[in-house]
């Protein structure tokens, strides 16, 4: 279906043309004065300059020609030259009715790009903390949105699995257990299948090693050497690395499962390693590489830069690869595996310089062809109520799983405040609602902005929160199940939607009619927060309608059926939208 706003615009374009004005002036927007009208066109003001006519005269010309069209209940010209539009009840209900008969509510999937989306980005062996939460939550939602739009999307977790943290762990292990076969140069047998540590030990080893390396330069040196040895393929360390990987990846998967976040690919920086020599050859053959203070760098500054963009370092003096090297090599791999039209990176916005440098090198060296869009979607920090990056009560880094259980517990307490429910059921509902609180609390903010993690607000059943949206869905479900009773006549849910009989009913229809426009904006701008804002409005308008309308006690059967079809559509749209955000609704709460 065409977007409703485009249908109105086309109608106005025709009339602008008929009256001798350019059709580009016919742009229609949702009214910013809903008390006066539903849609508006401000084009007469702009056209006035070109045609040297008073705007109100142009607006009046247009209105005269269009006001009797059946699309409108009224169209009026208002000083200084606004065209105010109120749609006819028939037009709106028939549009919404058509939406209700389509699985995608009339949304046209016009996209078919091949896209790789790089999100999550956890560092192996370091516990998953809230810093990685945003990347996972935003990335998962964007993956779903872009897929829904028709694209062919591959999500890659891009593990940080090749850096110094590996050398640190190996060094610390050796300190604690020098007798392990991995540290015995003369050992020639097979390496054990079982890892010499558990995930909890690993999580204690890493911070300990990291702390020691900061205080002891000699220890740090050893960690660097171990890292280099690993990267050069030293067998015993590769065997240890595999253990670290297995143990951590299992743990990561468990955590991502709880967040309902998943990946098509579990590749990481280590997989890029094989492509580094090819990358260096490419850079050399294009004469892009030069030495600077012992390191090999590529210049990426451009004349048009307004701030300094330093050269991108691709090889340190000891030959070690860097973060940029690994991202560039990964692009070679992604090109080979997917030949993507776009690669989208979801990472902390403080990494912007890194990505600017990487993208410029990639284009200069033709690591990816011109057609491949490289997009950095940088997100802000999740702060505590004190405005500083979120910490635990004792000032440590909050582990993601603790954060999740805090939320689930808060929701559980809230649910149990004024009712009794079987504990088991309540716990499982609290998990669903808790996830909505966490994800909606994050996604409802524009990704690039910092936001304050406010547990009490996020779990509230009122206001702009995930639980409020779920509450609205559950409310509709309960009306529908009361309506259906024992009958399985689901057909009634698909009855025709009749013209609205009240202001709030029409308002609800108009909101639903905007679905396609909102999805298009969310897709084009990579902006899940637009979907959050939309479902918050839909929920508010629905709740107003619910307040004003006796749905189940309506005596006019066809009117009642129309109400049911309308709220069923409302529910399905809300459910589709929360699915795109990455969470679901319970049956009751």
Is position 127 an interface residue for ligand ARG (rule: CB under 6 A)? no
- For residues 23 and 273, which CB has a smaller minimum distance to ligand ARG in the complex? 273
Least separation, in Å, of the C-beta of 223 and ligand ARG? 18
* Binding track, positions 329-358, relative to ligand ARG; x by CB under 6 A: ----------------x-x-----------
Is position 268 an interface residue for ligand ARG (rule: CB under 6 A)? no
Q: Which of residues 429-448 bind ligand ARG (CB under 6 A)?
A: none
Cis peptide, bond prior to residue 442, ω within 30 of zero: no
Least separation, in Å, of the C-beta of 351 and ligand ARG? 7
- For residues 391 and 559, which CB has a smaller minimum distance to ligand ARG in the complex? 391
- For residues 325 and 504, which CB has a smaller minimum distance to ligand ARG in the complex? 325
Is position 271 an interface residue for ligand ARG (rule: CB under 6 A)? no
Least separation, in Å, of the C-beta of 200 and ligand ARG? 21
Least separation, in Å, of the C-beta of 70 and ligand ARG? 54
- Binding ligand ARG (rule: CB under 6 A), the pick from 13, 38, 61, 118 is 118
Least separation, in Å, of the C-beta of 332 and ligand ARG? 13
Tokens of 267: 């590749």
- Indicate the length of the chain as a whole number: 589
Is position 160 an interface residue for ligand ARG (rule: CB under 6 A)? yes
Least separation, in Å, of the C-beta of 313 and ligand ARG? 15
- For residues 40 and 326, which CB has a smaller minimum distance to ligand ARG in the complex? 326
- Binding ligand ARG (rule: CB under 6 A), the pick from 121, 167, 466, 467 is 121
- For residues 347 and 567, which CB has a smaller minimum distance to ligand ARG in the complex? 347
| 134/138 Cα distance (integer angstroms) | 6
* DSSP codes joined into one string, 39-71: EEE-HHHHHHHHHTS-HHHHHHHHHHHHTT-TT
- For residues 300 and 476, which CB has a smaller minimum distance to ligand ARG in the complex? 300
**Residue with the shortest CB distance to ligand ARG:** 121
Least separation, in Å, of the C-beta of 270 and ligand ARG? 12
How many residues sit in the footprint of ligand ARG (CB under 6 A)? Answer: 8
| 197/176 Cα distance (integer angstroms) | 11
* Binding track, positions 16-55, relative to ligand ARG; x by CB under 6 A: ----------------------------------------
| 131/121 Cα distance (integer angstroms) | 10
The rounded Cα 152 to chain-centroid distance in angstroms is 16
Least separation, in Å, of the C-beta of 372 and ligand ARG? 15
Least separation, in Å, of the C-beta of 248 and ligand ARG? 13
For 318, counting Cβ atoms within 10 Å of its Cβ (0-12 exposed, 13-18 middle, 19+ buried), the class is exposed
- Binding ligand ARG (rule: CB under 6 A), the pick from 327, 408, 442, 575 is 327
Least separation, in Å, of the C-beta of 328 and ligand ARG? 10
In the block, residue with structure tokens 């059946």: 70
Least separation, in Å, of the C-beta of 268 and ligand ARG? 9
Name the residue among 305, 345, 303 with its Cα closest to residue 328: 345
- For residues 237 and 355, which CB has a smaller minimum distance to ligand ARG in the complex? 355
Would you call 79 helix, strand, or coil by DSSP?
A: coil
For 135, counting Cβ atoms within 10 Å of its Cβ (0-12 exposed, 13-18 middle, 19+ buried), the class is buried
* Exposure b/e, 70-100, CB count within 10 A at least 16 = b: ebbbebbbeeebbbbbbbebebbbebbbebb
Piece of 118-126, 139-147, 192-200, 549-557 that binds ligand ARG (CB under 6 A): 118-126
- Binding ligand ARG (rule: CB under 6 A), the pick from 123, 436, 495, 570 is 123
Is position 575 an interface residue for ligand ARG (rule: CB under 6 A)? no
- For residues 347 and 429, which CB has a smaller minimum distance to ligand ARG in the complex? 347
Would you call 448 helix, strand, or coil by DSSP?
A: coil
Beta-strand pair 114-118/382-383:
unpaired
- For residues 121 and 434, which CB has a smaller minimum distance to ligand ARG in the complex? 121
Would you call 151 helix, strand, or coil by DSSP?
A: coil
| 543/472 Cα distance (integer angstroms) | 7
118: β partners = 156, 345
Piece of 72-80, 116-124, 200-208, 567-575 that binds ligand ARG (CB under 6 A): 116-124
Could you give the C-alpha distances from 336 to 123, 275, 317, 330, 333, in angstroms and in order? 25, 11, 29, 10, 5
- For residues 168 and 538, which CB has a smaller minimum distance to ligand ARG in the complex? 168
Least separation, in Å, of the C-beta of 158 and ligand ARG? 5
| 536/314 Cα distance (integer angstroms) | 46
| 168/219 Cα distance (integer angstroms) | 9
* Exposure b/e, 259-270, CB count within 10 A at least 16 = b: bebebebbbbbb
Would you call 388 helix, strand, or coil by DSSP?
A: coil
Angle between helices 199-215 and 164-176 in degrees, nearest 10:
100
Least separation, in Å, of the C-beta of 129 and ligand ARG? 10
List residues binding ligand ARG (CB under 6 A): 118, 121, 123, 158, 160, 327, 345, 347
């Amino acid at each position: 279906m065409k977007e409703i706003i485009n249908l109105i615009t086309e109608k106005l374009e025709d009339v602008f043309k008929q009256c001798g004005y350019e059709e580009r002036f016919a742009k229609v927007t949702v009214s910013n004065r809903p008390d006066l009208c539903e849609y508006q066109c401000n084009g007469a003001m702009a056209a006035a300059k070109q045609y040297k006519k008073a705007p109100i005269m142009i607006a009046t010309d247009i209105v005269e020609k269009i006001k009797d069209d059946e699309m409108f209940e009224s169209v009026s010209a208002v000083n200084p030259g606004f065209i105010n539009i109120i749609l006819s009840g028939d037009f709106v209900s028939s549009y919404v009715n058509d939406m209700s008969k389509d699985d995608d509510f009339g949304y046209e999937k016009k996209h078919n790009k091949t896209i790789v989306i790089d999100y999550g980005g956890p560092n192996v062996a370091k516990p998953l903390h809230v810093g990685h939460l945003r990347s996972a939550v935003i990335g998962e939602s964007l993956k779903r949105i872009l897929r829904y739009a028709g694209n062919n999307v591959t999500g890659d977790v891009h593990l940080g699995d090749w850096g110094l943290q590996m050398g640190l762990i190996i060094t610390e292990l050796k300190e604690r257990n020098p007798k392990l076969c991995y540290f015995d140069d003369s050992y020639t047998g097979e390496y054990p299948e079982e890892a010499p540590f558990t995930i909890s030990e690993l999580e204690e080893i890493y911070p300990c090693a990291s702390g020691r390396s900061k205080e002891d330069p000699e220890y740090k040196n050893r960690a660097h050497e171990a890292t280099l040895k690993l990267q050069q393929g030293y067998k015993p360390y590769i065997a240890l690395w595999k253990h670290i990987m297995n143990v951590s990846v299992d743990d990561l998967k468990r955590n991502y499962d709880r967040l309902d976040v998943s990946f098509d690919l579990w590749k990481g920086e280590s997989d890029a390693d094989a492509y580094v020599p090819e990358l260096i050859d490419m850079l050399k053959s294009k004469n892009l590489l030069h030495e600077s203070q012992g390191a090999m760098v590529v210049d990426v500054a451009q004349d048009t830069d307004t701030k300094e963009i330093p050269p991108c370092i691709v090889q340190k003096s000891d030959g070690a690869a860097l973060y940029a090297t690994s991202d560039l090599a990964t692009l070679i791999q992604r090109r080979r595996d997917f030949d993507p039209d776009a690669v989208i990176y979801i990472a902390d916005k403080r990494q912007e310089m890194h990505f600017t440098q990487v993208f410029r090198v990639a284009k200069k060296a033709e690591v990816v062809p011109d057609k491949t869009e490289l997009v950095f979607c940088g997100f802000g920090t999740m702060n505590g109520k004190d405005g500083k990056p979120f910490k635990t009560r004792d000032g440590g880094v909050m582990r993601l799983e603790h954060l999740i259980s805090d939320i689930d517990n808060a929701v559980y307490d809230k649910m149990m405040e004024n009712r009794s429910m079987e504990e088991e059921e309540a716990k499982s509902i609290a998990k669903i609602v808790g996830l909505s609180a966490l994800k909606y609390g994050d996604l409802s903010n524009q990704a690039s902005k910092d936001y304050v993690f406010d547990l009490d607000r996020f779990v509230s059943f009122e206001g702009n929160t995930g639980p409020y949206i779920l509450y609205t869905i559950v409310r509709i479900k309960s009306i529908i199940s009361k309506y259906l009773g024992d009958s399985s006549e689901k057909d009634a849910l698909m009855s025709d939607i009749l013209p609205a009989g009240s202001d709030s009913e029409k308002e609800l229809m108009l909101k639903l009619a905007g679905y396609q426009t909102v999805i298009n904006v969310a897709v084009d701008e990579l902006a899940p927060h637009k979907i959050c804002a939309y479902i918050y409005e839909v929920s508010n308008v629905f709740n107003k309608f619910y307040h004003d309308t006796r749905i189940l006690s309506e005596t006019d059967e066809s009117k009642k059926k129309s109400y049911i079809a309308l709220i069923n559509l409302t529910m399905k749209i809300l459910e589709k939208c929360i699915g795109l955000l990455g969470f679901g609704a319970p049956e009751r709460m």
